[in-house]
Chain A
Amino acid sequence: MSTAFNTSMADSILYLDGVNVSFDGFRALNDLSLVLDAGEMRAIIGPNGAGKTTMMDIITGKTRPDSGQVVFEGNVDLTRHDEAAIAELGIGRKFQKPTVFETQTVHDNLELALKADRSVRSSLLWMLSNEASRRIDEILAITRLGDHANEIAGSLSHGQKQWLEIGMLLAQDPKLLLVDEPAAGMTDDETAETARLLKEIAESHSVVVVEHDMTFVRDLGVKVTVLHEGSVLAEGSLDAVSADKRVIEVYLGR
């Protein structure tokens, strides 16, 4: 490993090097390497099957890589931890399909996500403090769900569920947020609103956004990584990668 690599690993919030995963002979990730600096927001694009969701699964401990390094904050080997431990380390994830706790209220969803001791004992004895309550109200305001706080999450519209899930990420207050297709199924207005919300979040967090919607990626205005067949094809500003011939060939040009 070169010295340059070491330096970048120390400064990085997320460091993937030579990651390989296969499922039944299908190589989902093929020598994938990616470095995210602390405080950075990155958009990941790529055609279906490029390995975007598998990459998220690797980072959050849902899938174990066959080989390769996955390092968080320069010194934590994520391949040694499970989902709950990784969430506790400070990595939050929003799923492609909005998954909120449908039978519980919006407020309870946020309360469950709110950063706190996750042990059985402390959850039994937990009382909602003024501070926690204030934080939930803040998040309700940011995600514009204030009027729906006491509604059952299952009764929200699709877009509102997406925002609730982003709100839950905020409540978790992770160091790194992984956001999978936040604008999927949204109207144009909702998409623009979501981009605004994410940019606001990125001011104080490191964020990885996986997205198909090019208008949305343009709205974000951040460095873009293009994945193809499980590895990085190109990296740079959206304009730079859009001009890349190989990218046009596999993705944009179709």
Chain B
Amino acid sequence: MRGLVFRAFDRGGMIFLGILFGLILLLALSNLIMPVGHPLHAPTYLVSLIGKYLTYALLALSVDLIWGFCGILSLGHGAFFALGGYAMGMYLMRQIGDRGVYGNPELPDFMVFLNYSELPWYWHGFDMFWFAAIMIVFVPGLLAFIFGWFAFRSRVTGVYLSIITQAMTYALMLAFFRNNMGFGGNNGLTDFKDLLGFDLQNDGTRVGLLFASAMALGLGFLICKAVTRSKYGKVITAIRDAESRTRFLGYRVDRYKLAVFTLSACMAGVAGALYVPQVGIINPSEFTPANSIEVVIWVAVGGRGTLYGAVIGAILVNYAKTYLTGALPEIWLFALGGLFVFVTLFLPRGIVGAVNGSGDGGPSPIMTKVRDWRAARAMEGRS
């Protein structure tokens, strides 16, 4: 156990977390201490925006853990994120109490509107934060466990696995769109008032959520470090590179995959739970297959298999998204697609890989590509 804990703390990881927390602290201080209108004042919307990016970063981290290290390309991780988000949303709905439009102390507004006479059984317990907190981890984890148990035992790998993860999130999306699922149909859950008694509109609560997101990201990062730097991490990397060889060494590949897949889904659930109070709504569109694919692009852009690359990728791509959907909304999807093509062709190891070089001290891949391309052009010119 001691070894596992120690391995979480390596120098590079500490520097990365130090920078991350330093920036978050600066942002928080400039929001809370600087007066409104001061050039150094950070508006509250920015605090929540960064908080949202951090939850995306945690989601990207969870995808990097399985894709970058174990080769499991999940195109449905948004589902685990959304389930965690719904669990949090259910708690927040119950917190509204009789302050809803219909003033029903027991039933959330949408249930009154849909003529529910009593709370569905699966809504019980969500008035207690501790119960909701357990469900945030347990529900995505359980789904991942069941899904993974069948998929990995049947040795479904590669693109086939990716396709069924897409089907999973799509099926959940359709299910959550139905009014009689009891999750608010296509409107989802919204109009939240407070969390643990703190008013969600309050600047202090916003900063608190920002910190909670940063803490969750930091903890997730340390867990990923500990896991990937252990012998377990070497085994999953071996599975990624040569699955059947690993099996011939006596490792139960399905169990190793199942463990990392479940852990990753739990992390995605926590990310979703922190996302919901900061954006103020959770609805079935979070299950959209395209969302999950976007997460994979964040990781690819940042650099898979590096952990901090996933965080950087998630923040940069989402910053670009926020900027472009505001400035040039019709461009965004083309930009995202173009970015993915560019990264796949020229930065196979992402931004992090391009900056760090090829690891064995050689030139960075982007320069190698440029050189190859020039050489190819020169050859064509001659013939």
Contacts and interface: CB of A to CB of B under 8 A. Distances in A.
Interface of A: 60, 62, 82-85, 87-88, 92-93, 95, 99-104, 108, 111-113, 118-120, 123-127, 152, 155, 168, 172
A84 B252 contact: yes
A88 B250 contact: yes
A112 B249 contact: yes
Contacts of B250: 84-85, 87-88, 118, 172
Interface in B325-377: 360
Nearest to A60: B248
Interface of B: 1, 3-4, 227, 230-232, 234-235, 237-238, 241-242, 244-253, 255-256, 259, 360
Given A120-B255, A126-B231, A172-B250, A112 B3 contact: no
B4 A118 contact: no
B230 A118 contact: no
A123 B232 contact: yes
Given A84-B252, A155-B360, 8 more contacts: A82-B247, A84-B250, A95-B245, A99-B245, A103-B241, A112-B249, A124-B232, A125-B230
Nearest to B227: A124
4 nearest CB pairs, A to B: A87-B250, A126-B231, A123-B232, A83-B247
Given A120-B232, A123-B231, A101 B248 contact: no
A112 B247 contact: no
Nearest to B360: A152
B3 A125 contact: yes
A120 B3 contact: no
Given A104-B234, A126-B231, A84 B242 contact: no
A124 B241 contact: no
A125 B234 contact: no
Contacts of A118: 249-252
A152 B237 CA distance: 13
B247 to A, nearest CB: 4
24 contacts: A60-B248, A84-B247, A88-B250, A99-B242, A102-B241, A103-B241, A104-B234, A104-B237, A108-B234, A111-B234, A112-B234, A112-B246, A113-B249, A118-B249, A120-B255, A123-B232, A123-B235, A123-B256, A124-B230, A124-B232, A125-B1, A126-B231, A126-B232, A155-B360
A199 to B, nearest CB: 23
A172 B232 contact: no
A172 B247 CA distance: 13
